[in-house]
Amino acid sequence: MKTVEQTAAGYKENTRVLEKTNMSNWIDYNLDVLAGSTAEINQIAERLNQPSPELVNWIAERDGQQADEVTEGLKELLKFKAVRNLGYVSNDVNKARRFSLSFKDKHYGIVDSHLVDISEAFPNVIFLLEYSDIQASYSGKRVMRAGEVVQEVFDGDQKVQGLDWALLDIFAPFRAEYYAEVGEFGSLWTPWMDAIMAAVNGLKENQGSALAIAELPRQAQNKVANLK
């Protein structure tokens, strides 16, 4: 598990590299935020569109710009939109919400650093990020908490452009524990992994049985041929 500093530093370094290239793919982010209260989810909704002073100062120093210019540019970039409420739909009681953002890939380090800042500021909130780049044919899922990447899965071998190939739903155990309000954070990860392995083994066994059944007619034909 990466520390907050390592995660943020990595995202910033990726930003430095990408901004020197001519890459121009669009990345789509769908972010589910599972907060502890209505007040907390509303605060996060505001913070998603407000870059931190630390991020502003880092970019200003790196590029030799004025802080107010950087702030305006980041506000144009960080326009997370609230898509829908999760769980209780009424704003009076809702504490989980989905947000979305689309941006050019050269900015992903800045966006990810921004999310690390917010996650660190709300250490008990679960951030479930699903991302995709249709042009580059990849997608992924990331679980964040307290500024750290807890789990992540990447699907970079898609057989058809824009269609997930082997993207496991690693959000499932974290959603379950959040809505059931049982156990410590991450307590359902191992049981979920065991269930996934059992399901995969079941598919393998079923495949073996299906192949064996398909082979029966051929074996019967061979026996008849041998009798002639």
Asked if 145 contacts 115 with a C-beta cutoff of 8 angstroms, the reply is no
pLDDT score at 57:
96
Residues 215 and 121 in one domain: no
pLDDT score at 9:
53
Q: Is 9 inside a domain boundary?
A: yes
Return the amino acid letter for 212. A
Q: Is 179 inside a domain boundary?
A: no
User: Using one digit for the tens of pLDDT, what is the confidence trace for 97-124?
Assistant: 999 999 999 999 999 999 999 999 999 9
d(CA 177, CA 103): 31
d(CA 129, CA 140): 8
Looking at residues 171-185, what average pLDDT do you find? 94
pLDDT level of residue 218 (50, 70, 90 thresholds)? low
pLDDT level of residue 160 (50, 70, 90 thresholds)? very high
pTM, whole model, 2 decimals? 0.82
Return the amino acid letter for 196. I
pLDDT score at 24:
81
Looking at residues 134-158, what average pLDDT do you find? 96
pLDDT score at 27:
97
Q: Note down the domain range covering 207.
A: 188-228
pLDDT score at 19:
46
What angle separates helix 108-121 from helix 67-77, to the nearest 10 degrees?
90
Q: Is 182 inside a domain boundary?
A: no
Domain of 121, CATH number, reads: 3.30.70.1270
Q: Is 81 inside a domain boundary?
A: yes
Residues 199 and 122 in one domain: no
List phi, psi (to 5°) of 37: -160, 165
Residues 115 and 213 in one domain: no
Q: Is 177 inside a domain boundary?
A: no
Residues 196 and 159 in one domain: no
Residues 163 and 194 in one domain: no
Residues 59 and 160 in one domain: yes
Q: Is 176 inside a domain boundary?
A: no
Number of domains into which the chain is organized = 2
Residues 140 and 208 in one domain: no
Residues 36 and 84 in one domain: yes
Mean pLDDT score across all residues of the chain: 87
Please determine, for residue 14, whether its predicted confidence score (pLDDT) is greater than 60.
no
